[in-house]
Chains A and B, each alone.
Chain A
């Protein structure tokens, strides 16, 4: 069964550094998402991407965050100047269509900011 893949599985970075989290969504999906989950807390929406542009973003997704789909397969999340509070699990998800279609999540990237 096709799946969403994310790399790296764990990223450790010094505060203030830039990080790029990578995702390969399911190939025929059109909707792409980033979510984050701080340890022990709920999954929080960051941003959605459709038709090569951001379609929605949450209050968390401020100017330090950006997303890109540099080619036909990858979907990246960049955090420009990391802060301690950015430490979390970051999940990429994709969906075939919008609406009630299920979103398929990757295994996540655990980001640790030191």
Chain B
């Protein structure tokens, strides 16, 4: 089966840098995605890594190491509005389709 592990909670202060790790177990692999969710609202796509290395999008970066089955989301220059839940996700391998299988999410709390 597939499983994803990520920390349940992370706390940081404004202006800091925080890294949210995700380890996964899949029989095959089609890339790792990250989504942000504020207060149970719509999950919002942040980034996607199919190949090893770092992808940068503004203050957010995402890293993937396929050999380690590991990735992380890096948030820089933290702002209060970054307080949210962050989910890593992989594509469903069982049916080799496009559905996303999500981790349990990491709640990030940013304080002033």
Interface size, chain B (Cβ < 8 Å): 26
Q: Known contacts A45-B92, A102-B45; decide if A95 and B102 are in contact (CB<8 Å).
A: no
Contact A48–B98 (Cβ < 8 Å): yes
Number of A-B residue pairs having CB atoms within 8 Å of each other in the complex: 68
Given contacts A100-B31, A100-B48, A102-B33, contact A45 B41 (CB under 8 A): no
Specify which of B30, B37, B91, B98 lies most central, judged by the most chain A CB atoms within 10 Å of its CB.
B98
Binary contact readout B78-90 vs A (1 if CB under 8 angstroms, 0 otherwise): 0000000001000
Contact A43 B102 (CB under 8 A): yes
Tell me the minimal C-beta distance from B71 to chain A in angstroms: 14
Quick one: closest B residue to A34, CB to CB?
B99
Residues of B within 8 A of A (CB): 30-31, 33, 35, 37, 40-45, 48, 50, 87, 91-92, 95, 97-105
